[in-house]
Amino acid sequence: MTATRSRFIAFEGGEGAGKSTQARLLAEALRARGIEVVVTREPGGTPGAEAIRALLLTPPGDGWPPHAEALLFAAARADHVAHLIRPALARGAWVVCDRFVDSSRAYQGGAGGLGDDAITALHAFGSDGIRPDRVILLEGDETALAGRLAARGQAADAIEGRPAEYHRAVAAAFRALAEAAPDEFARIEALGDPQEVHARVLAAIADLLP
């Protein structure tokens, strides 16, 4: 493997935006350059965080109230950061993550009405406020992305199945976050051939590549 500075890349966006596909394609491209890459996801990535993921996406009873949901996401992230992300970065690997704290900011903080201050305070406490080197925000037409999601033929989880108004609020929150921190976010058109989108992603991180 090539000795290189570690980097942390997070893919963000709404349902059906292609985050997992683009995370995989980026990892393949980086490995072809001789870079060690750890691909992970949120909620999840470690045994503890995956256990919390199951509770979040298939909640017991009537589901979690907003504050409990935010706390569970923060707990999963704290375990993920401590046991996978920080160790990988410490040894010089790149970490490519399908969702990170900006999803909590958009979903629970924005669409869920808890506010950004609450979510960032939880992140500061649970994960020392760690931020990606670049956030790739995949955006696209609402109807087209919904069609992608439906084409998967899978039952929606507790968050995917929320009303269209909720997901519009999520998209608006992501836009606001990206507009407020243009140096941290790269806004990428998610629609089109996956390889075309991948080329846009590579261009957006070109300055980080060795």
Q: Is 122 left (phi over 0), alpha (psi -120 to 50) or beta?
A: alpha
* 56-112: pLDDT as tens digits: 999 999 999 999 999 999 999 999 999 999 999 999 999 999 999 999 999 999 999
pLDDT at 5: 92
- Domain limits of the chain? 8-208
pTM listed for this prediction? 0.94
Fold of 8-208: Rossmann fold (3.40.50)
- Please give the average per-residue pLDDT across 147-175, as a whole number: 85
Higher pLDDT, residue 109 or 146: 109
- Please give the average per-residue pLDDT across 40-63, as a whole number: 96
**Contact status, residue 173 vs residue 111, Cβ threshold 8 Å:** yes
Q: Where are the alpha helices (DSSP H) in 17-127?
A: 19-32, 47-57, 66-80, 86-90, 101-104, 116-127
pLDDT at 149 over 90: no
CA 69, CA 128: separation in Å to the nearest integer?
A: 20
pLDDT at 3: 56
**Contact status, residue 13 vs residue 188, Cβ threshold 8 Å:** no
